[in-house]
Structure 1
Amino acid sequence: MLALLHTSPVHVPVFDALRDDAHPGLELRHHVDAGLLDRARREGPEAVAGAVMAVLRQAVAEGARAVLCTCSTLGGVAEAAAAGAGVPVLRVDRPMAAGAVAAGPRVLVLAALESTLAPTAALIEEEASRVGRPVEVRTRLVAGAWRRFEAGDTEGYVRAVAEAADAVTGADVIVLAQASMAPARESTTARVPVLASPAPGLAAGAAAARLGHLGPGVHADE
């Protein structure tokens, strides 16, 4: 069983659909806590480390063989807690970051939430260092997008993200920093690859749940 830590309930049907399409038979257990993100935005991600660990321990107690954190703001905190959890703990955006590094040295990160920019950029730089490739990471906040997301205007949110991707120049690849931004891939006209985290992240989580022994930051295909 793979447990997923979400900070919004909108992710539950997205990952269920991905499971049904690509990983039939994989049992998912969803843990949703929007308050974790709210507190992390106010006080910094480290402020919720204890609460994240509590979720991880609950997931393990319920039978999880691995945990996938779908919140990019909290991904680093979740990975850091893996040693105390006793099972692999993965961040959903790590496989996407590896894909971005492979696509080219000029990476543009789009985010709807400012607290996601720095962790995502740091993750891409970490992946570049891991494979010994040069990388230049730029970040851009999609103005007003998060307000639309919070208001339930999913269509407007996705449209704003797609328009921001369309306007990108001077990049080899565009990274959509948050899992909720993934649908914008379907409508963007960007001329470079646009990467989203849910599908590759779930694939890594599924592999970790099967193997049950991968550590933090370790790739499921290694």
Structure 2
Amino acid sequence: MQTVVAIYTGQGLADPLKKVFQELLPYIRLVNIIDDSLIGDVVRAGHIPDVVTRHLVQYYRHAEELGADVILNTCSSVGDVADEAVGMLGIPIVRIDEWMAAKAVASYTRIGVLATLPSTLEPTLRLVGRKANEAGREVQLVNGLAEGAFDALISGKPEEHDRLLLETAMRVASEADVLVLAQGSMARMEKALEEATGKPVLSSPRFGVEHVKAILEAAKDAKSSS
């Protein structure tokens, strides 16, 4: 049985992502590592502190010891750490948002990136820009920071979070061909934002699991043909 270890910096995405795994990869062993102190440290610092990097690398190594065939890094705010850690391990690390960013630049020119935290917005903008360069595509990135939405959510006001996100999406949609949701936890708003803005909306959880599935299937094919 192939094993995937998903690493979370918060609680909110674990259950929704488990459902995607059950749909697309029902026969794998899924192990979750959740440390919800990490995103708090990132938000307070406004960047990825060294202590968060150290802890994440420790979790990646722990995942390898658990027998992971693939590690899924589920937090876009710390995606840069996943990129840097790839060469340290003998197994793949998948950024949950990598295939989403690749899809956006392959299909659209004006890309609006929605986020509720600057610490998530900036890494996602960098990732989309890098994917555009790799693909030889010129794209226009539109900043979609929904200020105050994250504070509303952690204060127990999900309706206020959704209202601020929707207002930001409507503003950005006038300048963009597609809306990209920087945080996997925003995926629950995907359909509502599509209906309100009339623009396609991309979220990362399904893309991330599809990326993991492709790697696992390629490994299985390589093993069977050897």
**TM above 0.5, one fold?**
yes
TM-score normalised by the chain length of structure 2: 0.87
Give the match for residue 120 of structure 2: 116
Give the match for residue 88 of structure 1: 92
Give the structure with the larger helix fraction: 2
Percent identity between matched residues is: 32
Give the match for residue 80 of structure 2: 76
- Which range is displaced more, 102-111 or 42-51? 42-51
**Cα distance, 1:152 vs structure 2:** 3.9
Tell me which amino acid in the other structure corresponds to 2:39: L
Does residue 1:56 correspond to 2:60, yes or no?
Answer: yes
Does residue 1:107 correspond to 2:107, yes or no?
Answer: no
Equivalent position to 2:190, from 185, 188, 198:
185
Partner SS for 1:25 = coil
**Cα distance, 1:46 vs structure 2:** 5.2
Rate the CA distance shift 1:163–1:21 in 2: closer, same or farther, 3 A: farther
Rate the CA distance shift 1:50–1:121 in 2: closer, same or farther, 3 A: same
CA-atom RMSD in angstroms: 1.8
Give the match for residue 32 of structure 1: 34
Tell me which amino acid in the other structure corresponds to 1:28: L
CA contact (8 A) 2:24 2:213 kept: no
Give the match for residue 145 of structure 2: 141
Does residue 1:198 correspond to 2:201, yes or no?
Answer: no
Tell me which amino acid in the other structure corresponds to 1:138: V
Partner SS for 2:197 = coil
Partner SS for 1:90 = strand
Give structure 2 stretches of 5+ with no counterpart. Answer: 221-226
Distance (Å, rounded) in 1 between the aligned partners of 2:21 and 2:113:
26
Kindly name which structure, 1 or 2, has the bigger radius of gyration based on alpha carbons: 2
CA contact (8 A) 2:121 2:182 kept: yes
Partner SS for 2:112 = strand
CA contact (8 A) 1:111 1:178 kept: yes
Rate the CA distance shift 1:186–1:45 in 2: closer, same or farther, 3 A: same
Give structure 1 stretches of 5+ with no counterpart. Answer: 214-222
Query: Relative CO higher for 1 or 2, CA cutoff 8 Å, sep ≥ 6?
Result: 1
- Which range is displaced more, 204-213 or 18-27? 204-213
CA contact (8 A) 2:170 2:197 kept: yes
**Cα distance, 1:27 vs structure 2:** 2.0
- Which range is displaced more, 21-30 or 180-189? 21-30
